[in-house]
Amino acid sequence: MSSDVEAPPGANNGASPGKPERARSRLSRLALPALILAVCAALAGGGYYAWRTWFAADDAAKSVLTAVATRGNLEDTVTATGTLQPKDFVDVGTQVSGQLKTLLVDVGAVVKKGQLLAEIDPSVYQAKVDGDQAQLLNQHAQLADRQAQLALADLQFARQQNMMRDDATTAEALQSAEATRKSALAQMDSVKAQIQQTGSTLRGDEANLGYTKIYAPIAGTVVSQAAKQGQTLNANQQAPIVMRIADLSTMTVQAQVSEADVPKLKVGMDVYFTTLGGDNRRFYGKLRQIPPTPTVVNNVVLYDALFDVANPNQALMTQMTAQVFFIVSSAKDAVLVPLPALHQAAAAGPKRGGRGTNGSDPRNQFANGSALVGVVDADGKVTEREVKVGVMNRVSAQIVSGLEPGEKVVVGTKAVAPAARAQTGSSLTPNAGPGGGRP
């Protein structure tokens, strides 16, 4: 009996029925997650593109600090502190010693030139003048006597000459008469010399007597008194100061400028100052003089800079403190931006106008008159723009061309919060290596 049986279709190589269907089902289950991931990736890419397109500009604008270019006036100044002194003043002293008998004016009195101010006790000097005058009278009397004796000697000498021509006298008598005449002439000349000497002494004593009255040498105001009525003054060593008279219609400001700022000053430049409690009122003048000899205070070298200012109402007083501003350059109705808005190209030096290299003045970076500014447009996009710079001080800069009032400029960047740094990962880490970590 035969055992051969026909195999059913699809049963070749020992494969069991239903296996192909199970394989196809397994492949379908694996493809579905991949498809979902692909769709998510596409959506994420589209979302990122949309964010970059519509919101990235706003984020960039929000990450920087901006300022608006405005119009205004700008000054580059050198500042200093000074004191006020009258331009013209005289220390009134005495040339003679004695007691200050009378003091006719007080501090603050306005005096005229030639006005009597004080008087020293004239008793001693008046006595000397009186003695000189008496001696002078005596010498004039002596002179008259010598003149009479000379006249008699002349007559006797002439008589002897006449008698000698008639042989009525001797040669000895003639010689005696001649000697007497010469002696009388010499005595008269001696008295004349004494009169001149006494006259000179009298003029000196009269001058000293005149010095006991002290007159105003100039018109002005008595600003100080160094002596009091009844005080004894000794003029043998030096002339004692009684008072000071000053013309307060013009004041001089003596400002002390550091040696680093002196090269910026030029004679004739404009300068103004304010005073303490002066409600910021400005007093203007022009630099008159910079004396070459400095003053050294605590190893700091300071030079005096002098300028004058009119004081018709005498609002300015002696020894007032002045805050002085020397105008190096100025601009009116100019386009102004903060100094930190200026920067140079990346290869040229420091990026933003802050402190220069080695702590130098940051304005030195833009001495050639050109700079770059970051301008924020209406869409929040920041673009670099080259501008021409004019007057600068340590706060603001004048833009001569390249920028209009009302435009926004970048003056700095906002600090990144710790949470933002954590979210961005290592991309904000300084000195990050290619893989995002430290090298």
194 and 133 co-located in one domain: yes
What CATH code is carried by the domain that includes residue 342? 2.40.420.20
pLDDT of residue 427: 35
Token duo for residue 339? 């100094």
pLDDT, tens only, 387-422:
999 999 989 999 999 999 999 999 988 765 554 444
**Distance of alpha carbon 322 from the chain centroid:** 9
Q: Hey, is 134 helix, strand or coil?
A: helix
User: 188 in a domain, yes or no?
Assistant: yes
User: 318 in a domain, yes or no?
Assistant: no
Q: Which of 177, 210, 243 is the last residue in one of the domains?
A: 210
Domain that holds residue 338: 62-74+332-414
User: 138 in a domain, yes or no?
Assistant: yes
Q: Which of 188, 210, 232 is the last residue in one of the domains?
A: 210
User: 377 in a domain, yes or no?
Assistant: yes
pLDDT of residue 380: 85
Q: Which segments of the chain have a pLDDT < 70?
A: 1-62, 345-360, 415-439
**DSSP calls for 304-365:** EEEEEEE-TT--S-TT-EEEEEEEEEEEEEEEEEEGGG-B--TTTS-SSSSS-GGG--GGGG
Question: What sections of 95-213 are H helices per DSSP?
Answer: 123-165, 171-211
131 and 197 co-located in one domain: yes
User: 198 in a domain, yes or no?
Assistant: yes
147 and 70 co-located in one domain: no
pLDDT of residue 390: 93
196 and 137 co-located in one domain: yes
Q: In what order do the strands lie in the sheet with 116-120?
A: 213-215, 116-120, 98-103, 232-233
pLDDT of residue 62: 66
Rounded Cα distance, 232 and 197, in Å: 31
**φ/ψ of residue 296, rounded to 5:** -105, 120
In sequence order, which residues have a C-beta less than 8 Å from that of residue 181 and are 6 or more positions away?
A: 150, 153, 154, 156, 157
Could you tell me the sign of the dihedral formed by the alpha carbons of 304, 308, 309, 311, in that order? Answer: positive
pTM, full prediction: 0.66
**Distance of alpha carbon 236 from the chain centroid:** 42
pLDDT of residue 365: 84
**DSSP calls for 235-285:** TTTSPPEEEEEEEEEEEEEEEEEETTTGGG--TT-EEEEEETTSTT--EEE
User: 179 in a domain, yes or no?
Assistant: yes
pLDDT of residue 111: 95
CB atoms within 10 A of CB 68: 13
Rounded Cα distance, 392 and 371, in Å: 12
Rounded Cα distance, 315 and 248, in Å: 9
pLDDT of residue 434: 36
User: 245 in a domain, yes or no?
Assistant: no
Rounded Cα distance, 295 and 53, in Å: 66
342 and 408 co-located in one domain: yes
pLDDT of residue 361: 74
The domain tally of the chain equals: 2
Q: Which of 180, 210, 240 is the last residue in one of the domains?
A: 210
Rounded Cα distance, 275 and 254, in Å: 13
> Would you say how long the chain is, in residues?
439
pLDDT of residue 302: 96
User: 410 in a domain, yes or no?
Assistant: yes
